[in-house]
Structure 1
Amino acid sequence: MEYHQNSSSYGTNEMKQTQAPLICGLPDDIAISCLARIPRIYHAALRCVSKRWRDLMASEELYSYRMKHNLDETWIYALCRDKNDQNCCYSLDPNCSRMSWKLVQGIPSRILKRKGVGFEILGKKVYLMGGCGWCEDASDEVFCFDVSTDSWFESASLPIARSYFACEVLNGKIHTIGGLGSKQSDTNSWDTYDHHTNCWKSQSEPNLVHEIEDSVVFEGKIYIRCSVPCISSRVFAMVYEPSSGTWEHADADLASGWHGPAVVIDGRLYVLDQSSGTRLMMWRKESNAWVMVKRLSQSLTRPPCRLVAIGKRIFVIGKGLSTVTFEVDGGTNIGGVMVGSSISKLSSSDCDLVSCKLLML
């Protein structure tokens, strides 16, 4: 037995020594440094060069190198419902000189028609979770898209079947919260996914409700905006404190002005209020009040909209993936209305936007 182990080890070392270099004439560490600097838009072409390049493009080694040396690029991914009432996913490279949304191919057929699907991004993977159908109860299935390989696969299932739930990433883990489940008790719970172990952990919380309208990570905590329309018109917010693992009611003043999608920039919480025109609001913690930053031109936005932010740049994404982008500190004003550059909606689609998230690679 000992002889065979040494023989195998020798064979492996010999194979490594005879393996062709990534780039002829360069040590592999130098080659990786070169390839890591090539923009993401060309990664699909690089995977076609050779098996070694394909494996490198999908490796944690390249991903970690790009992150460590600030070579990573942030793309926007959006989950939509198309004109056939099916799920579809699009990506946007905001650094491209001619910005346009690109369809992500190959969404698994089992999840195409489900509604209330959870949408989240962790690392270099896009997750589609749960959902339900017309004649189908809430599902526990999770499908994952690896952007480094352009491939879909099935991931570890949710511990509790859910649809129409909130999901956020906090401390490197996905949190799925509330929503509709197979049983009434399922709504008073949340799950946490650890991608290192590929396992979920479920926890209960009696104060959680299934009607969650929005969520955001702010000051290292998860905030959810809730409503209880069957009981009253009251809207309130709850906050998850990771240090104690508990949910509490958030500040009432914060909750009262949270009328729309939220995003955090430089530690500041912004909300796109679409209840009366389109206004960008900011939560001023020092005075415990919401203040208006600027109004946005209604001719450019197509509500209902969602928000993402890259640096100080906000992307307002609406129906048909029509997109307006502006710097939060330096948008151009015309007649008191903030305007910015825009990306036209999809030419052949009037899809409804479900959610949008950022992915760094």
Structure 2
Amino acid sequence: MAPPYSWMSTEEVQLQTLTLTLIPGLPNDVASLILAFIPYSHQSRLKSVSKSWKLFLSSGTLIYLRQSLLLSSARSHLLCIFPQDPSISSPYLFDPKNLAWRELPAMPCNPHAYGLCNFTSVSVGPHLYVIGGSLFDTRSFPLDRPCSSSSTFRFNFLNWKWESLSSMLSPRGSFACAVIPNSNKIVVAGGGSRHPMYGAAGSRMSSVEMYDIGKDEWVPLDGLPRFRAGCVGFFVGNGEEKEFWVMGGYGECRTISGVFPVDEYYKDAVVMELKSGGKWREVGDMWEEGERRMLGKIVVLEGDGWHVPAIFMLDRGDIFRYDMASNQWLKETSVPRKASDESSVGFVALDGELHVLTLLDGIKLPDTRKLRRNKRSAALLLQIYHPKKERWRSVITKPPFNRPLNFRMAVICAIGL
């Protein structure tokens, strides 16, 4: 059951040839399977047991075994949090079950570009992808305006290294992105050159493209019916029935009194039917005028127990579920402890549950329970909702960041290792 030698370093080959013994009295193949069941967040602490354990627990063999032998439900479900520009500030893995943090290496740095944000991060197998985004480039003019990035990076947990991949055909930030189920392909749609520092500035686009992981190649697909940035994307269905949904976002902008730019947000969705050759159809408005200004933060729950993906939206402290039959958002529940700044809240789906992330400094607490405000050491509150059990629970952790998380710019991605 051991992986082929082409996957392994010299130290790993030594383990497979019994030069070093993992567990006395057991063949290394059996011992490696036993160690593979150790939760990912516990592995670092066990490296000091012996030289052989350190080599094995640091190797790509371990990740390979966990990916190939363990069911998705048995893997460690982790959050990868990018607190800011990943080329200058390292992302971190966080295990909500064990409240354990682990730092990842910073991405390769481009000396001409800085301030990367509005990128998208997705996981496929033992790999983490960082795609596109908005940044400042010292080679462009004007220097105080952002430009879009077409770069694609991948972090490989097998060798613990970042890799630079083929660039997108069109640079973009604030775009829809999703992994095609049961395939090694990623689809991106829309986007522009938006940066949080400049409201309603930048371009919008309608182009769509697909990345083939095996070929390291981007190919164009049929474009969106109209310009759309700041949108979200996800897949529904399997086999030939797969559909790529793109919701919300903004198109043109208008000005108030001819001075202040304001985005015009969409209330509808568009759907690409893959079986029809990638043609788009439009879905009508999802809410009435005055009900809400824009789409909230969207996450998708899928996997065991879900016949179709369940789509949830966090909007002003309430969580809604999308009903495809009626094309409406129906209220599911309310967050027990709402943040005072509702725009600076993280929302992510992980292991069949919805996670709402807020800094404790940003939570409304009674005066007798207020914590001392220490921005550097602000605790992170995770309020976790289980849709099937309709139950809330919460955990508090101390993040290792040097500054408080800003969820307007931070990027969060789920990964199973």
| TM-score between both structures, scaled by the size of structure 1 | 0.76
What is aligned with 1:222? Answer: 244
Q: Which of the numbers 268, 276, 299 marks the counterpart of 1:244? A: 276
What is aligned with 1:8? Answer: none
Q: Is the 8 A contact 2:66 2:75 kept in 1?
A: no
Q: Against the structure 1 CA distance between its residues 55 and 90, is the aligned structure 2 distance closer, same or farther, given a 3 Å change threshold?
A: closer
1:180 is the counterpart of 2:202: no
Residue aligned with 1:317, SS: strand
Whole-angstrom distance in 2 between the partners of 1:307 and 1:155: 28
Q: Which of the numbers 131, 134, 138 marks the counterpart of 2:133? A: 131
Whole-angstrom distance in 1 between the partners of 2:231 and 2:191: 10
Q: Which of the numbers 144, 153, 162 marks the counterpart of 2:163? A: 153
1:280 is the counterpart of 2:348: no
Q: Against the structure 1 CA distance between its residues 59 and 273, is the aligned structure 2 distance closer, same or farther, given a 3 Å change threshold?
A: closer
Q: Quick one: which amino acid aligns to residue 153 of structure 2? A: F
Matched ranges for 1:1-361 at <5 A: 19-20=19-20, 22-44=22-44, 49-50=51-52, 51=55, 54-57=58-61, 60-67=64-71, 71-81=74-84, 88-96=90-98, 99=99, 102-110=102-110, 113-135=115-137, 136=140, 137-171=147-181, 172=183, 173-180=185-192, 187-205=205-223, 207-219=225-237, 220-224=242-246, 225-230=248-253, 232-254=264-286, 259-265=295-301, 266=306, 267=308, 268-274=310-316, 278-300=317-339, 302-304=341-343, 305-318=345-358, 322-331=381-390, 340-344=393-397, 346=399, 348-353=402-407, 354-361=410-417
Whole-angstrom distance in 2 between the partners of 1:132 and 1:233: 20
Q: Is the 8 A contact 1:127 1:145 kept in 2?
A: yes
Deviation of 1:357 (Å): 1.9
Residue aligned with 1:109, SS: coil
Whole-angstrom distance in 2 between the partners of 1:218 and 1:301: 34
Residue aligned with 1:64, SS: helix
Whole-angstrom distance in 1 between the partners of 2:347 and 2:358: 9
What is aligned with 2:371? Answer: none
Deviation of 1:273 (Å): 1.4
Deviation of 1:54 (Å): 3.9
Q: Quick one: which amino acid aligns to residue 414 of structure 2? A: L
Q: Quick one: which amino acid aligns to residue 187 of structure 2? A: H
CA displacement 1:308-345 (0-9 Å, x = unmatched): 2234421012468643212224456xxxxxx6314357
Residue aligned with 2:130, SS: strand
CA displacement 1:125-154 (0-9 Å, x = unmatched): 111222343235433322222234433222
Whole-angstrom distance in 2 between the partners of 1:330 and 1:67: 22
Whole-angstrom distance in 2 between the partners of 1:151 and 1:39: 21
Deviation of 1:281 (Å): 1.0
Question: What is the total number of aligned residue pairs between the two structures?
Answer: 333
Whole-angstrom distance in 2 between the partners of 1:301 and 1:233: 24
Q: Quick one: which amino acid aligns to residue 240 of structure 1? A: M
Deviation of 1:302 (Å): 5.0
Which consecutive unaligned segments of at least 5 residues does structure 2 have? 1-14, 141-146, 194-201, 255-263, 360-377
| TM-score between both structures, scaled by the size of structure 2 | 0.67
What is aligned with 1:336? Answer: none
Which consecutive unaligned segments of at least 5 residues does structure 1 have? 1-14, 333-338
Deviation of 1:261 (Å): 1.5
What is aligned with 1:6? Answer: none
Whole-angstrom distance in 2 between the partners of 1:164 and 1:289: 24
Q: Against the structure 1 CA distance between its residues 103 and 62, is the aligned structure 2 distance closer, same or farther, given a 3 Å change threshold?
A: closer
Over the matched positions of the two proteins, sequence identity in percent amounts to: 20
Q: CA RMSD, aligned part only?
A: 3.7
Q: Against the structure 1 CA distance between its residues 302 and 216, is the aligned structure 2 distance closer, same or farther, given a 3 Å change threshold?
A: farther
Whole-angstrom distance in 2 between the partners of 1:26 and 1:85: 43
Whole-angstrom distance in 1 between the partners of 2:299 and 2:320: 10
Whole-angstrom distance in 2 between the partners of 1:16 and 1:89: 32
